């Protein structure tokens, strides 16, 4: 597979494009603006929410990555990005001359509803509680039920791209939830790029993979590590942060590691 198209060229999409270019791939980026694409990547100015703008997709595509970030954190924006956008793209990719051999869709562990420390994997029930998880799960179903062979990767919380939410909590002196342990499932942005690159090169990938670090960590463990790195006092521990008594979930990445 040498002709790659990336729909969504933000931080991870651009980093993936740079890596693929270095490996000799022909990489095109689909976005509303051609600005700020990595050097060497060909720009395709397209709006995934506008079906007419996708009519000029070139023939002979080998694989497509869908790595879209919604415009806002609300239901309408997530529906636009992960339901309407992927439907429009799949429709444009379904003609014989354009249809790629693989579509890799970036989703999230928010599609799971488990919240009491349960272990989950790719076969676990999906019953998302948030609008974001519900829209992502809709997008997964569209991809896996489409005419283009699809694979889904569910990333955990992504770190390594600037000062994230937990760092800000530590700086603010916010407490962490000690009991029950509030588990977090995370992955470094460079590992996200490596996972996507790896899935591209698999001969016959499974339909769904969990992309997370190998060991789920409690919120307190992560925040205490951050505080030590920053030379700040450790966060105060509390029974619950939001009075819900929930402990999150623990994601297992064995399927991905087995590849």
pLDDT 10s digits, 190-228 = 999 999 999 999 999 999 999 999 999 999 999 999 999
C-alpha atoms less than 13 angstroms from C-alpha of 13 in its C-beta half-sphere? 25
The end-to-end CA distance of the chain, in Å, is 18
pLDDT at 55: 86
Please check the confidence at residue 242 and state whether its pLDDT lies above 70. Answer: no
**Residue 229 buriedness (CB in 10 A; 0-12 / 13-18 / 19+):** exposed
Question: What's CA 84's distance to the chain center, in Å?
Answer: 17
pLDDT of residue 57: 86
| CA separation for the pair 3, 138 (Å, rounded) | 27
- The pLDDT value given to residue 86: 98
Q: Which residue has the higher pLDDT, 247 or 85?
A: 85
Q: Tell me the mean pLDDT in the region 141-156.
A: 96
Provide CATH code, domain 3-161+186-213+250-257.
3.40.50.720
Given a cut of 60, whether residue 108 has pLDDT beyond it is: yes
Query: Residue 239's pLDDT is what?
Result: 80
Cis peptide before 180 (omega within 30 of 0): yes
Ranges of beta strands (E only) in 77-179 are 102-108, 116-120, 150-155, 157-159, 176-177
Q: Give the mean model confidence (pLDDT) for residues 241-252.
A: 76
């Amino acid at each position: 597979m040498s002709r790659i198209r990336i729909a969504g060229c933000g931080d991870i999409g651009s980093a993936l494009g740079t890596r693929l270019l270095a490996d000799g791939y022909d990489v095109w980026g689909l976005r509303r603006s051609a600005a700020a694409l990595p050097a060497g990547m060909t720009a395709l100015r397209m709006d995934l929410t506008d079906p007419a703008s996708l009519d000029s997709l070139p023939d002979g595509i080998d694989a497509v990555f869908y790595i879209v970030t919604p415009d806002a954190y609300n239901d309408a924006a997530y529906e636009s990005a992960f339901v309407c956008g992927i439907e429009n793209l799949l429709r444009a990719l379904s003609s014989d001359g354009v249809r790629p051999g693989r579509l890799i869709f970036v989703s999230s562990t928010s599609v799971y509803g488990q919240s009491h420390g349960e272990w989950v994997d790719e076969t676990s029930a999906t019953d998302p509680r948030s609008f974001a998880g519900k829209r992502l799960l809709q997008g997964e179903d569209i991809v896996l039920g489409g005419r283009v062979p699809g694979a889904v990767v569910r990333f955990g919380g992504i770190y390594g791209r600037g000062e994230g939410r937990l760092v800000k909590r530590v700086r603010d002196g916010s407490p962490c939830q000690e009991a029950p342990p509030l588990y977090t499932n995370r992955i470094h942005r460079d590992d996200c790029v490596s996972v996507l690159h790896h899935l591209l090169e698999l001969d016959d990938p499974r339909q769904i993979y969990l992309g997370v670090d190998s060991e789920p960590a409690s919120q307190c463990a992560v925040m205490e590590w951050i505080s030590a790195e920053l030379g700040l006092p450790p966060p105060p521990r509390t029974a619950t942060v939001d009075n819900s008594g929930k402990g999150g979930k623990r994601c297992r990445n064995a399927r991905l590691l087995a590849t």
